[in-house]
Amino acid sequence: MRKATKDPVGVPVVLAETVAPPIRTEALHFRTNEPNEFWDFTDMVRAVVKRSGVRHGQVTVYTPHTTTTVVINESETGFLNDFRKLIGEMVPDDVYYEHDDHDVRTENLQEDEFVNGHAHCRQLLVGQPSITVPIVDGEVLLGQWQRVLFAELDQARERRVFIHAQGS
Burial of 9 (0-12, 13-18, 19+ CB in 10 A): exposed
Burial of 150 (0-12, 13-18, 19+ CB in 10 A): buried
pLDDT confidence bin for 64, thresholds 50/70/90? very high
Work out whether strand 37-40 and strand 5-6 pair parallel, antiparallel, or are unpaired: parallel
pLDDT confidence bin for 17, thresholds 50/70/90? very high
Looking at residue 1, what is its pLDDT? 64
What's the CATH number where 95 sits?
Answer: 2.60.120.460
Q: In terms of Cα–Cα distance, which of 107, 126, 112, 94 is closest to 158?
A: 112
How much is the average pLDDT of 141-156?
97
Beta carbons within 8 Å of 29's beta carbon, 6+ residues apart: 10, 13, 158, 159, 160
pLDDT, averaged across the chain: 93
Measure CA 112 to chain center. Answer: 23
Cis ω on the peptide bond leading into residue 92 (within 30° of 0)? no
How much is the average pLDDT of 101-109?
78
Beta carbons within 8 Å of 16's beta carbon, 6+ residues apart: 23, 24, 25
| Count of domains observed in the chain | 1
Position 20 pLDDT exceeds 80:
yes
Whole domain around residue 119: which residue ranges? 5-139+146-167
Cα gap 106→101, rounded to integer Å: 9
Give the tens place of pLDDT for each residue, 41-61.
Answer: 999 999 999 999 999 999 999
Full-model pTM: 0.92
Q: Determine contact, residues 130/123, Cβ cutoff 8 Å.
A: no
Give the tens place of pLDDT for each residue, 114-148.
Answer: 888 999 999 999 989 999 999 999 999 999 999 99
